C-alpha cells in the first residue's frame, strides 16, 4: 500500500521562462492556470475539452500535468513540494 505522504502537498515550485522560480500554494497555481487557459494564445491539451468550467480545466491540468507551453520559447512548469516540519 502506498504511503499517504505521497498524496500530500504543501505547495508547488513554479518555473517560467525568464523568471525566477516561485513557491505557490495550490490556490495560487490554480488561479494562474485559469488565467493562462482563458488566454486565446494558449493551445490547451485536448483532454481538457471534456470540462466545461475553467476551474475544472485548471484543476485537472494542475493535478495531471507538470508543464504548459505558453508560446514561442515560453513555458510554465510546476512541481509538488512537501515541506518537513
The domain limits of the chain are: 10-81
Predicted pLDDT at 7: 54
Looking at domain 10-81, its CATH class is alpha beta
- Mean pLDDT computed over 4-16: 77
Q: In 56-78, which positions are buried (b, 16+ CB within 10 angstroms) versus exposed (e)? A: ebbbbbbeeeeebebeeeeebeb
Which pTM does this prediction carry? 0.83
Q: What would you measure as the largest C-alpha separation in the chain, in angstroms?
A: 43
Q: pLDDT digit string (tens) for 22-52?
A: 999 999 999 999 999 998 678 888 999 999 9
Amino acid at each position: 500500500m502506498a504511503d499517504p505522504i505521497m498524496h500530500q502537498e504543501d505547495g508547488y515550485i513554479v518555473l517560467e521562462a525568464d523568471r525566477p522560480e516561485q513557491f505557490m500554494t495550490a490556490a495560487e497555481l490554480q488561479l494562474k492556470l485559469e488565467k493562462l487557459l482563458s488566454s486565446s494564445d494558449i493551445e490547451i491539451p485536448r483532454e481538457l475539452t471534456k470540462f466545461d468550467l475553467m476551474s475544472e480545466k485548471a484543476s485537472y491540468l494542475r493535478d495531471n500535468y507538470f508543464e504548459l507551453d505558453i508560446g514561442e520559447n515560453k513555458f510554465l512548469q510546476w512541481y509538488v513540494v512537501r515541506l518537513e516540519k
